[in-house]
Homo-oligomer: A and B are copies of this chain.
Amino acid sequence: MVTWNIPDSRKELSRYYTGAETYLTAVPGESPLDDTANQLRRIVEALSLTTPDAAHIPLTTERLRDIADELERYAEPATDRLLGMWEGDGVVRHDPVTGPENTLAPPLVMHVAEDGWVEGEVTLGLPYQGPPAAVHGGICAALLDAALAVANHRAGNNGMTARLEIRYQRPTPLYRPVIVRAKQLRHEGRKRFTVGEIVVDGEVSATAEGLFIARRTSVAAE
C-alpha cells in the first residue's frame, strides 16, 4: 500500500531505483500514521502561508485543541512507545528527518544510488525557511546528518555522530527539488568516515564531512 507520489523528476534521477527493496529509509504510505502526518504537514505549510491575525485562526486552534486533548488521552507512556518504535523492519518510521510518521520530517526518503552513494530528493516549503526563500542552515545540517547515517547503514557500518562539518556554498532554495546524497568513504576500527552533499539544479549548495564511531557493543561488520 505505497501511496507515496514519486514525482517525474525523481524517476530520471533514480535510474538505479529498481523497486521498493532499494529504499534505505521507511517507505511512506505503509503505516496509517503516515497519512496523519501528511495532513499535519499540509496544516503546518498552510499556516506558514497565513497571516497571524486571519479571522479563521481562533476556531482552527480550538478544533486542533480538541484533537490534541483526545490524542493525549489515548497516548501511551513514552517508555512503552520508545520500545515499540524500534521494533519492525530495521528502519525508523519516526525519525525527525526521514520518518514518514513524523510530521517534523519532510520526509527525506533515501534509496540506493551508484558507487556506494545513497540519495533522496526532497522539496522544502516555508516551514523550513532560514534566510529569505532559502532552507535554514540548521535544517540543511539535519538533512545531511541523516543522509550520512543512511550511507553508514547502507555500508553495513553504523555509528553515532562524533563530528559533523557542514560547508555552505550557496543558499539552498525553498520550493525546488533538492538532492541529498551521501557515501561512506572508509572505516577503520570503530571509526567511519562519511561525506555528503546537497545538490540543487546540478550545483552543490552544501557539503558535509562526518566522523561516526560505532558503540563498543555494536555488531558492526568490520
Q: Are A104 and B166 in contact (CB-based, < 8 A)?
A: no
- Shortest distance from the beta carbon of A56 to any chain B beta carbon, whole Å: 6
Q: Are B64 and A67 in contact (CB-based, < 8 A)?
A: yes
- Shortest distance from the beta carbon of A57 to any chain B beta carbon, whole Å: 5
* Chain B residues, Cβ within 8 Å of A81: 48-51, 126
Q: Are A67 and B74 in contact (CB-based, < 8 A)?
A: no
* Chain B residues, Cβ within 8 Å of A125: 78
Is A219 at the interface (CB under 8 A from chain B)? no
* Chain B residues, Cβ within 8 Å of A77: 49
Is A13 at the interface (CB under 8 A from chain B)? no
Which of the candidate stretches A15-23, A111-119, A156-164, A184-192 sits at the interface with the other chain? A156-164
Q: From known contacts A49-B81, A68-B39, A126-B81, infer whether A74 and B56 are also in contact, taking CB-CB under 8 Å.
A: yes
Q: Are A36 and B48 in contact (CB-based, < 8 A)?
A: no
Q: Please provide the chain A residues from 38 to 66 with a CB less than 8 Å away from any CB of chain B in the complex.
A: 39-40, 42-54, 56-58, 60-61, 63-65
Q: What number of copies of this chain does the assembly contain?
A: 2
Encode A131-152 as 1/0 by CB contact (under 8 A) with B: 1110011110111111001000
Is A33 at the interface (CB under 8 A from chain B)? yes
What is the bound-complex CA distance between A35 and B131, given in angstroms?
A: 24
What is the bound-complex CA distance between A46 and B82, given in angstroms?
A: 13
Closest to A133 in B: B82
Is A221 at the interface (CB under 8 A from chain B)? no
Select which of B44, B57, B149 is within 8 A of A32 by beta carbon: B57
What is the bound-complex CA distance between A125 and B46, given in angstroms?
A: 24
Q: Are B57 and A36 in contact (CB-based, < 8 A)?
A: yes
Q: Are A129 and B49 in contact (CB-based, < 8 A)?
A: no
* Chain B residues, Cβ within 8 Å of A177: none
* Chain B residues, Cβ within 8 Å of A65: 39
